[in-house]
């Protein structure tokens, strides 16, 4: 460990709980990123599949994004008032997403999901939210019910995943199994008079929806007049320019966005039907229906120009085809290496976002992922990092910047890793 890095790690453990920002391990400190690569403070280079947990879909420091930001910074970095770039970005979102008639900006995915649930409750005049076990919707009290319970409870009772959550929140969240339409429909019908909304990741962490699942949720919520919220913080503008709702052909009432729309800067949004979004407008709903929403950096002009530049790149012919082709080549190569090594594992996800689950059988929901060999997963991830491949504990995020050399290097590193594990 170089002295500089050692000092930084020591300082981090002195001034930061657990020595990190709460996101990633404290033993790696990134110095810079360019395209599909990052370098740590020791100068080690990595092919980056972490991508800042997904925002850098066009790659790090894309020249067009950098140019847009550098043009804006001398003009001002925040105003707390409307700015032209935020307005233009909202218009682009409305044009792109099937569900979006109006947009309200926030700064983080957590905020967007929190406000989406709140505006649904305001619209319905009901207090409860139905979510799906294993679904990630940020860090609010409601979202941290049955995200990753060590001991899953009995549906529909949720289990808090964090200290500090009031016990009363358990009574406000109904938990259903993902990809089990019959169970979800039964719970929605049973609690229809209490539900303010239903929130779901259309692609839950790494698990694709079973055929008919999202369509069934759309049908039952539309029948009962309950807002359906798609959490598209991850999938928005990643699976298609119109998000997962376009990719799967199912239109929710509301969706949340983040990551890609800020081009690497803090920005998120709630988008949806105008009659629901009207609760952000006191003049339309009156004092009793008005949802207070204030954010110092909401619609930040620097984040907005970065988002607009990113989206302009994604609109170009062939952008999504390239990302899908890159991801598919990796998925196919990983699957072949796993078969050759004879390890109990499978590749799940879609080409722009996938990972290996170190288990056999049908991985259809959170509980089925609990069969995975997490120790093996960690060992493989360590071997990959030692070979110059950076990824999170789970997920390979694919970018437009990953090229054939990156793919070849990654496939070789993965093949060597699983071969070594098979021999161990």
Positions marked catalytic? 136, 231, 259
Q: Note whether 157 and 151 are within 8 A (CB).
A: no
Please give the Cα distance from 232 to 236 (Å, whole number). Answer: 5
Please give the Cα distance from 407 to 276 (Å, whole number). Answer: 44
Question: Reading across the β-sheet that carries 389-390, which strands appear in turn?
Answer: 30-34, 37-40, 45-48, 389-390
**b/e per residue 357-391 (b: at least 16 CB within 10 A):** bbbeeebbbbebbeebbeebbebbbebbbebebbb
Q: Name the phi and psi angles at 316, rounded to 5.
A: -70, 145
Helix, coil or strand: residue 160: strand
CA dist 38 → 28, 51, 104, 331 (Å): 11, 9, 33, 22
Q: Note whether 322 and 209 are within 8 A (CB).
A: no
Measure CA of the first residue to CA of the last residue in the chain; give whole Å: 27
Please give the Cα distance from 314 to 322 (Å, whole number). Answer: 11
Please give the Cα distance from 236 to 310 (Å, whole number). Answer: 13
Give the residues across from 255 on adjacent strands. Answer: 230, 271
From its phi and psi, is residue 46 left (phi > 0), alpha (psi between -120 and 50) or beta? beta
Helix, coil or strand: residue 192: coil
**Beta-strand runs (E) in 147-288:** 173-176, 195-200, 228-231, 254-257, 268-272
Q: Note whether 234 and 227 are within 8 A (CB).
A: no
DSSP 361: S
H-type alpha helices, 97-242:
109-124, 181-190, 213-224
């Amino acid at each position: 460990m170089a002295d500089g890095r050692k000092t930084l790690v020591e300082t981090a453990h002195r001034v930061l709980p657990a020595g990190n920002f709460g996101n990633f391990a404290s033993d790696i400190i990134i110095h810079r990123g360019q395209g599909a690569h990052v370098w740590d403070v020791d100068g080690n280079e990595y092919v980056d599949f972490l991508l800042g947990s997904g925002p850098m879909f066009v790659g790090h420091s894309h020249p067009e994004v950098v140019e847009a930001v550098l043009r804006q910074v001398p003009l001002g970095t925040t105003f707390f008032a409307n700015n032209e770039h935020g307005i233009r970005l909202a218009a682009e979102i409305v044009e792109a997403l099937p569900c979006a008639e109006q947009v309200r900006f926030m700064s983080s995915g957590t905020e967007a999901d929190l406000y989406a649930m709140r505006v649904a409750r305001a619209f319905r005049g009901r207090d409860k939210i139905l979510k799906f076990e294993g679904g990630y919707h940020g860090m609010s009290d409601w979202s941290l019910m049955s995200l990753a319970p060590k001991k899953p409870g009995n549906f529909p009772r949720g289990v808090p995943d964090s200290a500090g959550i009031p016990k009363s929140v358990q009574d406000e969240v109904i938990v259903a199994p993902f990809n089990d339409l019959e169970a979800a429909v039964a719970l929605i019908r049973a609690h229809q008079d209490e539900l303010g909304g239903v929130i779901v990741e259309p692609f839950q962490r790494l698990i694709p929806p079973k055929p008919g699942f999202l369509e069934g949720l759309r049908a039952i919520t539309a029948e009962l007049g309950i807002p359906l919220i798609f959490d598209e913080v991850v999938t928005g503008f990643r699976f298609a320019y119109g998000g997962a709702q376009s990719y799967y052909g199912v239109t929710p009432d509301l969706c949340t966005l983040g990551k890609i729309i800020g081009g690497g800067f803090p920005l998120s949004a709630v988008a949806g039907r105008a009659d629901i979004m009207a609760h952000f407008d006191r003049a339309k709903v009156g004092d009793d229906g008005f949802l207070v929403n204030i954010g110092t950096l909401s619609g930040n002009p620097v984040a907005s120009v970065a988002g607009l530049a990113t989206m302009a790149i994604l609109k170009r012919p062939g952008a999504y085809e390239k990302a899908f082709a890159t991801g598919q080549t990796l998925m196919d190569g990983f699957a072949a290496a796993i078969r050759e090594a004879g390890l109990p594992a499978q590749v799940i996800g879609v080409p722009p976002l996938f990972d290996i689950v170190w288990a056999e059988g049908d991985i259809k929901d959170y509980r089925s992922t609990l069969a995975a060999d997490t120790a093996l997963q960690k060992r493989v991830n360590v071997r990959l990092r030692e070979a110059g491949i950076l990824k999170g504990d789970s997920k390979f995020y694919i970018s437009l910047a990953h090229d054939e050399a990156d793919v070849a290097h990654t496939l070789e590193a993965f093949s060597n890793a699983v071969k070594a594990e098979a021999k161990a």
